[in-house]
Chains A and B, each alone.
Chain A
Amino acid sequence: GAGVSQTPSNKVTEKGKYVELRCDPISGHTALYWYRQSLGQGPEFLIYFQGTGAADDSGLPNDRFFAVRPEGSVSTLKIQRTERGDSAVYLCASSFSVSGANVLTFGAGSRLTVL
């Protein structure tokens, strides 16, 4: 597509529930990133995919968070047993390479609210 698409744009859930957030990257971009942004802060890195594999998942806060990208395109971020502290905007980005550096383009984000 023309840009990075994220769904849902808003998700309200109850504490303890399971949530999936989807990211559809720009066509042809091989790298995909997930970030989390809390109110008043800059985005914080969660996980990075190069193709189908997670190249760096060092930002995932705990084992309740998991992400997949089975065919090297669409990615799903999965959060189990949600907690109120998980409330944030979850941002996805895809990138192309310029001289070995990854230039990121972000989607509009999925706002998660855990009640």
Chain B
Amino acid sequence: GIQVEQSPPDLILQEGANSTLRCNFSDSVNNLQWFHQNPWGQLINLFYIPSGTKQNGRLSATTVATERYSLLYISSSQTTDSGVYFCAVEALRGNKLVFGAGTILRVKS
């Protein structure tokens, strides 16, 4: 099945700093979603982005489908951005999202 690799596994930021999280996947996809899992375990959908670029406030994401990677940008980070960020993809011939192992983000004040 499709493989999803996320990097870095861990990231510590000072409040106000910017960061880039990466997601590589092994096959063509028709769905890619970025999620934030908060400290209470809730998975929040950040972006549905199988290709192109989207922005939502301080967050933006870019997926280059032909090169099989996606990037999540966090600008001016806040302590509330802490948590685990997951990339999940659905292969073109698939019917389910496959998750990466996540990036643990800690933002310090």
Contacts and interface: CB of A to CB of B under 8 A. Distances in A.
Interface residues of B, number: 22
Given A42-B100, A43-B43, A103 B95 contact: no
A33 B94 CA distance: 14
A108 B88 CA distance: 17
B57 interface: no
Contacts of A111: 41
Secondary structure at the A interface, as helix, strand, loop or mixed, is: strand
Contact of A42 (B31, B90, B99): B99
Secondary structure at the B interface, as helix, strand, loop or mixed, is: strand
A45 B48 contact: no
A106 B86 CA distance: 13
A98 B3 CA distance: 23
Interface of B: 30-31, 33, 35, 40-43, 45, 48, 50, 86, 88, 90, 95-102
9 contacts: A42-B88, A42-B101, A102-B31, A102-B90, A102-B97, A103-B33, A103-B45, A104-B45, A109-B42
